[in-house]
């Protein structure tokens, strides 16, 4: 007659204990509690089963106490089915929208605006074209159209919404010539950035227009320094805040963006050395480069003016003024007074300041420090920058105080 012990069975001459956990606890504890009783004697096995039953009840009680908390239900949204897309199947328009939305987060507004214009020219001709269908001949056609664009293409109201080929046709009738090789290279390079991005995203295997480039050598049209007569004319006809900005840039070499972005906190007093303007990034504008962050002494002719217009709060010195507004105010006076020299722009005020420093014998690397350029004193500019602490406030003050406005300027 076989011996029966509840929750135990004999296997290979050894008693085994096995008791299933309640179903609602099995996800936490497992299916069952299983132990070897390590004996073949039925009486010893019954004693050990009783002990394990107590252990089992204790485990279940603790699990029940912990299991009172309702398990969290994590909603899982089913993925929307998207048909697999073949390589090169996406259209130029679709990819351009994605590319520009990404770059808008990375670039300053001016840089993004330029990139958007260039990519927009490409999209205007190939919006619905599959990116994988673009060929080298398409690139040659686009490049030839770019080379025939008018320099004032972005200023025409009638040109808004036109395709690249239509812009070229529209510009031919105006007889304004074509954009410079430098501008052609910039537009073509920005289109290349878009195609390289498509390669990085796996939309195409290679840039089909990589071997193409505008013909001719890109040459930068330099700005010219203002003459004494032009400086006198500008200051005579400039009014209000624009005249203050003009004086500030002439006597400090500040860029227009640096000047209009000044706040009350950017003016600092340095004892016997007088007022300095601290050029640094702020909530109004960023700087062109790391070297542009600097401190420049305010000339005596402009210091009184600026300290007079310092706002009572921590606001801007020139509220409401932007680079665009400054440039247009300058262009208006230039047109009224008949400045017909090429290269005369508001940035010429900066070149006038640098020229005055040069003519008074200021070393080049001193001037570079004042205007926010990288020092050109040594071939290894990085090493020189690490070892040099720069020129002193006294040297800066001496340089700026040497600058003189042309005779005939009424302040």
* pLDDT tens per residue across span 154-197: 777 777 778 888 888 877 766 667 888 888 999 999 999 999 99
Q: Clarify whether residues 122 and 250 are in a common domain.
A: no
Q: Could you tell me which of 105, 111, 29, 38 has the C-alpha nearest to residue 64?
A: 29
pLDDT, position 238:
86
Q: Clarify whether residues 324 and 185 are in a common domain.
A: no
Give the integer Cα–Cα distance in Å for 408 and 228.
9
Task: List pLDDT tens digits, range 35-54.
Answer: 888 888 888 888 988 999 99
pLDDT at 338 over 60: yes
Comparing 5-19, 211-225, 261-275, the range with the smallest average pLDDT is 211-225
Q: Clarify whether residues 246 and 361 are in a common domain.
A: yes
For residue 222, tell me if it sits in a domain: no
pLDDT at 391 over 60: yes
Please count the structural domains in the chain. 3
pLDDT, position 73:
63
Q: Which helix (H) or strand (E) holds 297?
A: strand 294-297
Q: Which of 66, 81, 111 is the last residue of a domain?
A: 66
pLDDT, position 88:
72
Q: What is the mean pLDDT of the chain?
A: 83
* Burial of 180 (C-beta count, 10 Å sphere; 0-12/13-18/19+): middle
Q: Is the pTM of this model over 0.85?
A: no
pLDDT category of residue 135 using cuts at 50, 70 and 90: very high
pLDDT at 98 over 90: yes
pLDDT, position 220:
67
Q: Which helix (H) or strand (E) holds 385?
A: helix 381-387
pLDDT, position 250:
92
pLDDT, position 372:
80
pLDDT at 358 over 60: yes
Using an 8 Å Cβ cutoff, are 14 and 39 in contact? Answer: yes
pLDDT category of residue 71 using cuts at 50, 70 and 90: low
pLDDT, position 166:
84
Task: List pLDDT tens digits, range 243-284.
Answer: 989 999 999 989 888 898 888 888 888 888 888 988 888 776
Which residues are CB-neighbours of 94 under 8 A, at least 6 positions away?
Answer: none
Q: Clarify whether residues 379 and 272 are in a common domain.
A: yes
Q: Clarify whether residues 193 and 234 are in a common domain.
A: no
Which structural domain range is residue 15 located in? 8-66
Q: Clarify whether residues 256 and 386 are in a common domain.
A: yes
The mean per-residue pLDDT over the stretch 301-322 comes to 76
Give the integer Cα–Cα distance in Å for 96 and 131.
10
Q: Clarify whether residues 180 and 252 are in a common domain.
A: no
Q: Clarify whether residues 279 and 390 are in a common domain.
A: yes
């Amino acid at each position: 007659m076989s011996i029966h012990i509840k929750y135990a069975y004999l296997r290979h001459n050894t008693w085994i204990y096995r008791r299933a956990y309640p179903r609602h606890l099995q996800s936490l504890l497992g299916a069952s509690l299983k132990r070897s009783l390590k004996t073949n004697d039925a009486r010893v096995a019954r004693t050990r089963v009783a002990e394990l039953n107590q252990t089992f009840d204790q485990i279940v009680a603790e699990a029940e106490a912990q299991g009172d908390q309702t398990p969290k239900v994590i909603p899982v949204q089913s993925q929307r089915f998207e048909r697999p897309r073949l390589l090169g199947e996406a259209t130029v328009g679709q990819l351009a929208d994605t590319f520009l939305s990404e770059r808008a987060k990375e670039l300053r507004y001016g840089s993004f605006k330029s990139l958007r214009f260039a990519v927009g020219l490409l999209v205007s001709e190939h919006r619905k074209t599959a990116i994988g269908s673009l060929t080298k001949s398409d690139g040659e056609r686009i490049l030839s159209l770019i080379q025939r664009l008018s320099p004032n293409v972005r200023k025409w109201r009638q040109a808004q919404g036109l395709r690249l080929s239509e812009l070229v046709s529209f510009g031919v009738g105006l007889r304004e010539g074509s954009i410079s090789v430098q501008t052609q290279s910039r537009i073509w390079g920005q289109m290349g950035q878009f195609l390289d991005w498509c390669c990085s995203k796996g939309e195409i295997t290679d840039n089909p227009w990589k071997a193409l480039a505008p013909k001719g050598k890109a040459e930068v049209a330099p700005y010219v320094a203002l003459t004494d007569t032009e400086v006198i004319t500008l200051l005579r006809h400039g009014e209000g805040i624009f005249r203050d900005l003009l004086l500030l840039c002439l006597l400090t070499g500040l860029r227009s963006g640096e000047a209009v972005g000044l706040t009350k906190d950017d003016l600092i007093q340095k004892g016997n050395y007088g007022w300095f303007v601290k050029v640094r990034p702020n909530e109004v504008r960023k700087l062109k480069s790391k070297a542009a962050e600097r401190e420049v002494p305010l000339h005596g002719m402009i210091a009184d003016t600026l300290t007079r217009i310092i706002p009572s709060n921590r606001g801007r010195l020139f509220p409401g003024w932007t680079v665009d507004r400054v440039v247009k105010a300058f262009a208006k006076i230039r047109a009224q007074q008949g400045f017909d020299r090429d290269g005369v722009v508001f940035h010429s005020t900066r070149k006038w300041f640098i020229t005055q420093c040069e003519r008074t014998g200021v070393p080049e690397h001193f001037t570079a420090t004042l205007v926010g350029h990288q020092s050109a004193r040594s071939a290894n500019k990085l090493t020189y920058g690490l070892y040099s602490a720069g020129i002193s406030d006294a040297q800066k003050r001496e340089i700026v105080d040497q600058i003189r406005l042309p005779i005939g300027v009424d302040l």
